[in-house]
Structure 1
Amino acid sequence: MVRKTLVMWSGGLDSTYGLVNLLRETDDDVFAHHISRHARSDSGHNSTRTADYENDAVARMLPLISETYRPFSFGQSTVDLRAFRSFARDTSTAMFLAAHAARSHGFSRDDRILLSMNSDEDKSWNPGSELYRFLRAYTVRILRLTWGAEDFPTCFLWDPPPRKQKEANYLPKHLFDMTASCREPRYDPDGEGYLRCQICPECVTLSSVVHREANDVS
């Protein structure tokens, strides 16, 4: 039986790397699910603009990845969280939404959900530490509770989590340039589409990444 693997594909660098890696390196039946997420933010962050930015990135990359590597299943949904005063963009939220997506795609305990991480921004997820073991158990608990039964899929992570530089090098440059890795994107009315703000934490991290076309993944 072929194993199913779910990637919650935001259109960002981490999840795009995860999707392409699974298509290249495994024989899994890959499911990519994109959620257009709208939420309130006391910081003034425009979640609708971010959602549009990510939707646009996914729409542009979807046919290219399928044609370049191999076909995969794709689904998308919209989640409106603006009734809540705040709703964190963190691992617990990601796993809560991933569990619902996996159920909708008919996943079972023989399948798995990829939790895309990188070691530049998510240092607490580096294997071997007490904090890592706590976060791993916490995430699995959220998956179990959301699933509502004991036959839930496996939650897995890269071991060790990749660096942003490795993720960038793994992707062809045209795909790397399309990824939606910014929290405060701005729209360019002159035809360039959405542009990265260059000042949010994601943009600051990416500022140190220099893409090398050679796909050096060491």
Structure 2
Amino acid sequence: MTKNSKAGVTVRQKPGGKIFLKPKKPVSLVMLSSGLDSLYALVKILTETDDIVLVHHVHIINNENRHEIEATRTRQIVDWCQKKYRRFRYSESTINHTGFTGFGFDIMSVAFEAGMVCRSFYQANNYPVSKLLTGWCTEEEPYPGRAPHVKAVVAANSFPYEPPNFFFFDRVTKMEEARYLPPELVSLSWTCRQPVMLPDGDVEECGKCASCEIMQPIYSMQKKAVGS
């Protein structure tokens, strides 16, 4: 049996046999939406742990037409965090629900893709993703009875490998998330579910959806900071 160190993992191999890779550190997957909750989770996992970090964004295309601005902001966030904190693996995938009258809960689509990321990671590395982070604030309560289905979707697409464990930092308010994060990152986040297209091609928040209503105090805080 030989043992070597390689890229944060322990490499074991019997003479002439298969190579097995065992991580020296936990592997955490952050499903990054560009919203404040998942951004908060990403920064905490990067700065408060030494986990191997994977980050994945799902382009959820539906009748809300928010996928383009979310993709733009997510890539800007990833670039910022890679430069300011530390390196991590980033990937993307797409789910298109255009034309459906209803398109379900985003978390179900995100969970399905999370399972695919975990399954692919295991197949490539012979060891599992141990933690899955999606972000969650105190203002937003989960839909009753939804949690078991979310876990089942992750497990279904991780099969035949073990799914990761859902991991949450202590829940805090949106305002506490915003105060924890650098102002530059808060300004890059995108939460609005019904973006308004301007004549010049730019995009702005609608200010009316439930997500915008929760963010209003934070938008006000940002405006005061800029004006001071």
TM-score band w.r.t. shorter chain: 0.7 to 0.9
The reply to whether residue 142 of structure 1 matches residue 153 of structure 2 is yes
The alignment covers a number of residue pairs equal to: 195
> Which of the numbers 62, 85, 103 marks the counterpart of 2:78?
62
Cα deviation for residue 135 of structure 1 reads 4.8
Aligned amino acid, residue 139 of structure 1: V
Write the distance in 2 (CA, Å) between the matches of 1:89 and 1:21. 25
Deviations 1:14-56 (A, max 9, x none): 11111111101110111111111113xxxxx433xx0001011
Contiguous gaps of at least 5 residues in structure 1 = 40-44, 126-130, 213-218
- The 3-state SS of whatever aligns with 2:54 is strand
The reply to whether residue 10 of structure 1 matches residue 33 of structure 2 is yes
Cα deviation for residue 186 of structure 1 reads 1.9
Deviations 1:49-105 (A, max 9, x none): x00010110122222111111111101122223365422134333322211222233
Say if 1:64 and 1:21 are closer, same or farther in 2 by CA, change over 3 A.
Answer: same
Match of 1:46 in 2: 64
Match of 1:114 in 2: 133
Deviations 1:88-135 (A, max 9, x none): 13433332221122223338556111131111122x48xxxxx6xx65
Deviations 1:134-184 (A, max 9, x none): 65444333322332235221122233x221011111111111011011001
Contiguous gaps of at least 5 residues in structure 2 = 1-23, 223-228
Write the distance in 2 (CA, Å) between the matches of 1:62 and 1:85. 32
Write the distance in 2 (CA, Å) between the matches of 1:136 and 1:78. 23
Say if 1:151 and 1:135 are closer, same or farther in 2 by CA, change over 3 A.
Answer: same
Match of 2:173 in 1: 163
Say if 1:144 and 1:27 are closer, same or farther in 2 by CA, change over 3 A.
Answer: same
Structure richer in strand, relative to its length: 2
- The 3-state SS of whatever aligns with 1:207 is helix
The alignment's TM-score, normalised by the length of structure 1, stands at 0.79
The reply to whether residue 86 of structure 1 matches residue 86 of structure 2 is no
Give the % identical residues. Answer: 27
Write the distance in 2 (CA, Å) between the matches of 1:115 and 1:46. 21
The alignment's TM-score, normalised by the length of structure 2, stands at 0.75
Aligned amino acid, residue 170 of structure 1: Y
Write the distance in 2 (CA, Å) between the matches of 1:114 and 1:190. 36
The reply to whether residue 196 of structure 1 matches residue 205 of structure 2 is yes
- The 3-state SS of whatever aligns with 1:181 is coil
Match of 2:191 in 1: 181
Say if 1:101 and 1:211 are closer, same or farther in 2 by CA, change over 3 A.
Answer: farther
The reply to whether residue 207 of structure 1 matches residue 216 of structure 2 is yes
Q: RMSD of aligned C-alpha atoms?
A: 2.4
Asked which structure has the greater CA Rg, the reply is: 2
Cα deviation for residue 201 of structure 1 reads 0.6
Cα deviation for residue 207 of structure 1 reads 0.6
Aligned amino acid, residue 157 of structure 1: F
Write the distance in 2 (CA, Å) between the matches of 1:138 and 1:157. 18
| Most deviating of 25-34 and 80-89 | 80-89
